[in-house]
Structure 1
Amino acid sequence: MSTDPADLSATEAARRIDAGSLHPRDLLEACLDRIAAREDTVRAFAHLDPALARAALARPRDGLLAGLPVGVKDVLDTADQPSEYGSPIWRGHQPRADSFAVAATRGAGGIILGKTVTTEFATRHPGPTTNPHNPAHTPGGSSSGSAAGVAAGFFPLAFGTQTGGSVLRPAAFCGIAGFKPSFGLIHRAGLKVMSESLDTIGVFGRGVADCALLAQAVTGLDLGDPQRATGAAPRLAVCIGPGGDKLAPETLALLEDVATACARAGARIERITLPSAVVAAQEAHPAVMNGEILQALAWERMTHPADISAELTENMNWAAALPAPALAEGRAAFAAGRAAMRELMARYDAILTPSAPGEAPQGLGWTGDSICNALWTAMHGPCISIPAGHGPAGLPMGVQLVGLPGQDRALLGWAGWLEGTLGR
């Protein structure tokens, strides 16, 4: 087992710092050494200034995150580092203020280590980041640098955002935990918002407890300790989800293996299909997402059209051609789907479903399909991806737990239970 502090989970590093057996300076320098060794290949950072991190560490540190380095996706504003949103249109942009997530992290004693690579405006056009497990493969997106950085040991915690599958999918591809809280749990002030109905700030860590630690630190909510999960076993609805024939055989096999392990550990397992209203919400996702992106990027589209990627331009043109009521109708479909989800989930503690269609695709030109995640983002409830195995190419794979809005603490607890079950 590695003794390098850069390989510690956030919760273990925090425990050692609190006990006096690890100095925050040694943790930071270990992370910087790892970055020096691997960043040329992983390319996780949009901006990195070690002097800023060292200066922050020189000030008194207290709070839940005291001395822990944190990566910040470059769609979240930072007052001391550029925020370029993955677009040449915003190159060199320096915000005056921190986003809420960043300010709250500093307030809890965290060290903002750097800005991590995002796809263009957190949409589809990829940045240069590679998968730490195999640089010939994508790390996923849009939170590419944050997921890859945690997996590579650059920082134990990081922020991402999710509109379709931008936290859950890269977490699965990189073999770490990724948590998308309930919609709005982490305030979006200072986020370059693309979709008012969907954009959710999420977190990455090496395990479930790490994700709970960062989310709790910035919200002030008691999200429990997933490492001390209840001894009871959950009622799980096992669902292939809307992925259907896009799921690789190894993904279907992994889901069945995990369901079997859960049943052996005492979970009540029931296989379900989704109600028609929930399926309709999935079908409405592209109209809502792209319709709201069209509005969010009105200035960029008007003044810098040549600096917007062909993929994003195509999606916005598609949205512009929709009938005027399409956006409102899509939002109404979301609301109906959420109502159907509440009725469905009355019988279950969580839904168990794939995190991604398969392993990380080869190449860096595509960050993967969000078909396993977009629906759950629209449902506004908490979701978490947990490492669960490896595929035929030896790359990580994950499974996802989904809960109802407001049930973040409960879902993290069940995720801790599942993590413990899979680790036995």
Structure 2
Amino acid sequence: MTDPATLSAAEAARRIRDGRLSATALTEALLDRIATREPGIRAFVHLDPALALRQAEAVDRAAKAGRVGPLAGLAFGVKDVLDTADQPSQYGSPIWAGHRPRTDAACVALARRAGAVILGKTVTTEFATRHPGPTANPHNPGHTPGGSSSGSAAGAAAGFFHAGFGTQTAGSIIRPAAYCGAVGFKPSFGTLHRAGMKVMSESLDTIGIITRSVGDAAFAMAGLTGGDYGDPEARPGRAPRLGLCWGPTAEQAAPETREAIERVAAAAARAGAEIVPIEMPEPVAAGLAAHALVMNGESADALAWELDHAPALLSPGLRERMEWGRDQPRAAKEAGRAAFATARAAVASVMADVDAILTPSAPGEAPEGLGWTGDPAFNSLWTLLHLPCVTVPVGTGARGLPLGAQIVTAFGRDGEALAWAEWVRQAAVA
């Protein structure tokens, strides 16, 4: 008999809808897997198996009454910068220890409405910034899983849940997903509402998901939003025109990443893709240069209460960056946001010439140790451009850790981003 924990999101939902699998049995199988592997991974900051089972039982009762949502019985992990009414929301900070919101974040509410089981809260770095939590990479516990969506990436890769909510201000969905060998999807800016999120940067923060496969990501997003994300595993009728782009941070690509992306491009070409080198226009580099100023300036505003009332409970690095951001002139932050807008306008013509861009997901393999979550060098640009991004696993590096390739499409072309990412993944592993 197939272990329910190994089923894809679509297949698990289909079996629950058809009465061939109960949400309770699925949740029990996932909890068994968690009990075995969680001590070495530490993906969760809060996990209540009894609460998860009560949710699953409620799904089963609803199913018997003919009320089956599109995500009925599927398990979600929730990054702990997103509020949950029935579980603590502590934002990776001792300042908020024990905090119990009265309401769910909007994306969590949508998941529940669709029938999902909120399995637990996943580890985030401090306020989704840099200071890491205890989560380890499931492929090698001596290496970081990346951040800030550390627990969602590690948990998805370990098969603890069908989808983990993540957030991205610089590279906090794509990079950890790549490090953990999972699929990370950062939708077009604003796709998932940020109500109930501990927002840091109004201009940048984007909610997305991390899953085991591209198909799972598309299925989960369709269930959350009611949108049509297609079937990425159904091969398109033509090969794509892919722009190979190293971007302004090209020199930061490690040799294994450069080799991997060149290998993927060659495989895509053999499968019929047209590969065209892409150079970003100068305004795009200018936008990237403003990223840190806008991010830290807006984050300092977001953490105004914490800075004023509990500065000693902030990590030294975060406090220093927030004080720096607080001290930046208003005009400088406005100029940075204007640079973002100019960059978005400039990139539109580039995106109009290709189906998708192929670019690295991270500089290299996951760094050794748990004290640093890695560099968002290949992510910040796409975040400020508000474009949909997908990372897919395309092999391993010299240390045997996963490497990812990132696919980026034009704003609003989220379904195409998923479809071309799966096309590229299949070409790379053929």
| Same-fold call, TM cutoff 0.5 | yes
Provide the rounded CA distance (Å) in 2 between the counterparts of 1:411 and 1:40: 35
The residue that corresponds to 1:65 in the other structure is: 71
Question: Hey, what's the Cα distance between the residues in 1 that align with 2:243 and 2:327?
Answer: 38
After TM superposition, where is structure 1 displaced by more than 6 Å over at least 4 residues in a row? none
Question: Paired residue for 2:6?
Answer: 7
**2:349 aligned with 1:343, yes or no?**
yes
Q: Which runs of 5+ in 1 are unaligned?
A: none
1:247 aligns with 2:246: no
| Alignment partner, residue 56 of structure 1 | 55
Q: Quick one: which of 421, 425, 428 aligns to 1:422?
A: 428
What's 2:235 paired with? 229
Distance 2:370 2:73 in 1: 33
Residue from 92, 104, 126 that aligns with 1:86: 92
> 1-side partners of 2:101 and 2:70: how far apart?
26
Please tell me whether residue 259 in structure 1 is matched to residue 265 in structure 2: yes
Amino acid at match of 2:101: P
Match of 1:403 among 399, 409, 418: 409
Cα distance, 1:3 vs. partner? Answer: 4.4
Contact kept in structure 1, 2:301 and 2:326, CA below 8 Å: no
C-alpha distance after superposition, 1:109-144 (max 9, x if no partner): 100000000000000000000000100000000000
Q: How many pairs were matched up? A: 423
CA distance in 1 between partners of 2:72 and 2:171 (Å): 30
Deviation at 1:5, TM superposition (A): 2.6
Match of 2:193 among 180, 184, 187: 187
The yes-or-no answer on 1:153 pairing with 2:159 is yes
Report the equivalent of 2:138: 132
One-letter amino acid of the structure 2 residue matched with residue 28 of structure 1 = T
Give the Å deviation of 1:243. 2.4
Q: Counterpart in 1 of 2:149?
A: 143
**Contact 2:264 2:427 (8 Å CA) reproduced:** no
* Length-normalised TM-score, structure 1: 0.97
> Could you tell me how far 1:9 is from its partner in structure 2?
2.7
| 2:233 counterpart SS class | helix
Q: With the length of structure 2 as denominator, give the TM-score of the two structures.
A: 0.96
CA-CA distance at 1:37 after TM superposition: 1.0
Amino acid at match of 1:33: D
User: 1:6, CA displacement in angstroms?
Assistant: 2.2
- Greater mean alpha carbon deviation, residues 88-97 or residues 235-244: 235-244
Native 8 Å contact 2:392 2:422 kept in 1: no
Q: Does 1:300 align with 2:298?
A: no
CA distance in structure 1 between the aligned counterparts of 2:257 and 2:392, rounded to whole angstroms:
14
Helix, strand or coil for the counterpart of 2:199? coil
Distance 1:312 1:223 in 2: 37
Matches within 5 A, 1:9-408: 9-59=8-58, 60-61=62-63, 62-408=68-414
In the alignment, the residues of structure 1 paired with residue 398 and residue 11 of structure 2 have an alpha-carbon distance, to the nearest angstrom, of 31
Q: 1:316 Cα shift?
A: 1.2
Is contact 2:352-2:410 (8 Å) kept? no
CA shift at 1:20, angstroms? 4.1
Structure 2: distance between partners of 1:391 and 1:330: 36
Tell me, yes or no, if the aligned pair for 1:228 and 1:416 is still in contact at 8 Å.
no
Paired letter, 1:334: F
Q: Structure 2: how far apart are the matches of 1:9 and 1:361?
A: 30
Percent identity over the alignment is 60
Q: What CA deviation, in whole Å up to 9, does each residue of 1:183-227 have, x standing for no partner?
A: 000111111100000000000111111111111111111111111
